[in-house]
Amino acid sequence: SQELCRALEQDHAKLQTAKKAVEQRTQELRKEAERLQKNRERELALNREEERACQMLPALPEKKMVFKGLMTNKEDMNKLMLTPLIHYPVPGGSALITFEKADVAQRIIEVKEHVVELSNGEELEELDQCRMRVQAVPVDILLPSAMEIRLTRGSRSILVSDLPSLGIPEEALLDKLELFFSKTKNGGGEVESREFLDDSGQVLLTFAQDGVAEPLIARGHIHVLIGKGKYELKISPCMNGDVTSLQLQPSRCPRTVLLSGIPDVLAEEPMRDTLEIHFQKASRGGGEVETLAYVPAGRQGLAVFVEDAG
């Protein structure tokens, strides 16, 4: 009887311990569930904020940028000059007109709506088709104002410069360079890709394996037999730049106007001539036209803006 009581008491103690362990685990699981729920709610809130931010951002036109190193003194050694090339989409039924003077463009924009006579020798049946109303609006683009770039050194690539002017096609010269640098006796290896870099007079060579580029870069120069001549070429490391921060600011083109609402009533060339004649006349507030690009209805155009030299 006493042994049975002791056994029951031990079982009861074990059950109490197990109960406490279960309650503690349940409490931990409840806290974990609450923490996960809070994290989920926070993620959903952040996603909603990101979606709202994306909806607020306008569609940006494609931009190409040309980077030129500026090396005038020590203070300028870490500076870059940005020369943006802005790709600006032009919808159908529109024209981009650039005047020689900014004040002319401003006058055209202030008028907003212009009535253009279609007196270009075309036969138009209805009298009210002999003129059209077009709207003039300014051209606003986004320009980079500040930028941060992270530079990394390519482990398999080299830049080859001081290339000779041999008067042979670029592909032929690339073939000769690839053949030379693919040979291990020349310190090279299998070439994965090769390309001329625009406007730099340099060739970018990328090897298939690690460990080939570094010894060549350490040499700095190498003598290469091309045709019947032997030339000393310079070898430099290839630096890759990743944009880590980019700030844009809106900018208004001072001499360019976008004309919209142009009906498809004339062929492309006569319409371009008609618009240019109309907006050149000083009596209508116009002036000398530098360029005019017309995109007929139903088509899409792409204008490229470069830095104004003036």
pLDDT in tens, 148-195: 888 888 889 999 988 888 778 888 888 888 899 999 998 989 999 988
Residue 112 has pLDDT above 80, yes or no: yes
Give the percent of the chain with pLDDT over 90: 6
Among the candidates 38, 56, 74, a domain finishes at: 56
Residues 185 and 221 in one domain: yes
Q: What is the CATH number of the domain that holds 222?
A: 3.30.70.330
**pTM to 2 decimals?**
0.49
Whether 72 maps to a domain, the answer reads no
Residue 127 has pLDDT above 50, yes or no: no
Whether 174 maps to a domain, the answer reads yes
Mean pLDDT taken over the chain: 79
Q: Which domain holds residue 14?
A: 1-56
Q: Report the pLDDT value the prediction gives residue 206, as an integer from 0 to 100.
A: 92
Task: Report the number of distinct structural domains present in the chain.
Answer: 3
Condensed to tens digits (0 to 9), the pLDDT of residues 184-201 reads 998 989 999 988 887 677
Whether 135 maps to a domain, the answer reads yes
Spell out the SS3 assignment of the chain. CHHHHHHHHHHHHHHHHHHHHHHHHHHHHHHHHHHHHHHHHHHHHHHHHHHHHHHHCCCCCCEEEEEEECCCCHHHCCCEEEEEEEEEEECCCEEEEEECCHHHHHHHHHHCEEEEECCCCCCCCCHHHHEEEEEEEEEEEEEEEEEEEEEEEEEEEEEEECCCCCCCCHHHHHHHHHHHHCCHHHCCCCEEEEEEECCCCEEEEEECCCCCHHHHHHHCEEEEEECCEEEEEEEEEEEEEEEEEEEEEEEEEEEEEEEECCCCCCCHHHHHHHHHHHHHCHHHCCCCEEEEEEECCCCCEEEEECCCCC
Q: Report the pLDDT value the prediction gives residue 53, as an integer from 0 to 100.
A: 45
